[in-house]
Amino acid sequence: MNGAQDLGGMMGFGPVRPEPDEPVFHGEWEKRALAITLASAALGEWNLDMARHARETLPPPEYLTSSYYEIWTKALARMLAERGMVTPEEVAAGRALMPPVPTRRPRADADTVARGLAKGTPYDRPAEAPALFSVGDRVRAKLINPRGHTRLPRYIRGRTGIVVAVHGVFAFPDTNAHGLGEQPHWCYGVRFTGRDVWGPDAEPGLEIMVDCWEPYLERAA
C-alpha cells in the first residue's frame, strides 16, 4: 500500500542526521517495547509480514509523528485487540483485567525466547520453478498501487534497472501479510540509477539497490 512509511525520494522532511555512537535503546521503555513485541509474536498469532503491515497502516499523521518503538507498540496494541487478546480497558489500565485467551503456541519463557532469537526465522524456501530472470537482465518494476501489503517501493515502480543478484526463493510478503499463504517466489537484487528513478535532478552517481520479488518485475526492452 502507499502509506506514510514509503518516503523514498520525498522532500520536505529535512536532512537525515546520523547519531554518532547511537545507542541501541534511547530509553528503558524501548527495551520493554521490543521484549513485549517479541514475546507476543512468539504466540504464533501473526507472522512478520502481518506485523509490518500493521505498522504501515497506522494513520499517516500518527505514523510520521511517532518514534520507531512507538510505531511498534501502537501496531502491537492493534494486532492484540483485533485478535481479542486485549481489551481497550486493559490497554488503558496497562495491565490484564481478563483471563488470557488461548493462542496457537504457549507462552514462551526467557530461555525459549533466547534460543528462538539465536536460531532466527528463515524465510527462504525450496524452488519449485526456475528463475525467470538472470544477472545482467534489464527489468522494469511494474507500475502497481496495491491496496494491501507490498515490499515494492513506490518510487521505483515503472522504473528500469539491472538484475545484479539472484537471491533465491523466499516467502512472498504480499500474500503472507494477509493470511493467504507464503506463495514463495524468486527474489532478485536490482540496481537502479538515480537518474532513471528521479531524472536529471538526481544526485550524480547515485545508485539504488532494491530486493524485488519476481511478481514485481517484467522484462524491459
What's the CA gap between 8 and 21, in Å, rounded?
A: 25
What's the CA gap between 149 and 3, in Å, rounded?
A: 10
**138-219 has CATH 3.50.50.60 classification:** no
What's the CA gap between 184 and 171, in Å, rounded?
A: 4
CA 92 to chain centre: 28
Set of cell numbers at residue 216: 514485481
Paired with 165 in beta bridges are 189
Average predicted confidence (pLDDT) for the chain: 93
**Three-state DSSP class for residue 84:** coil
Phi, psi (degrees; rounded to nearest 5) at 138: -85, 125
168: left (phi over 0), alpha (psi -120 to 50) or beta: left
Sheet holding 160-170, edge to edge: 207-213, 185-193, 160-170, 138-141, 217-219
Mean pLDDT over 50-62 rounds to 95
Q: Give pLDDT tens digits for 2-42.
A: 889 998 878 888 888 999 999 999 999 999 999 999 889 98
pTM of the model: 0.90
28-119 against 138-219: fold identical: no
**Three-state DSSP class for residue 125:** coil
Q: Give pLDDT tens digits for 129-141.
A: 999 999 999 999 9
Please name which of 217, 159, 211, 167 lies closest in space to residue 190, comparing C-alpha atoms.
211
Domain ranges of the chain: 28-119, 138-219
Using 50, 70 and 90 to split pLDDT, how confident is the model at 110?
confident
Please name which of 128, 154, 207 lies closest in space to residue 3, comparing C-alpha atoms.
154
Using 50, 70 and 90 to split pLDDT, how confident is the model at 111?
confident
CA 25 to chain centre: 20
Domain 28-119: which CATH class?
mainly alpha
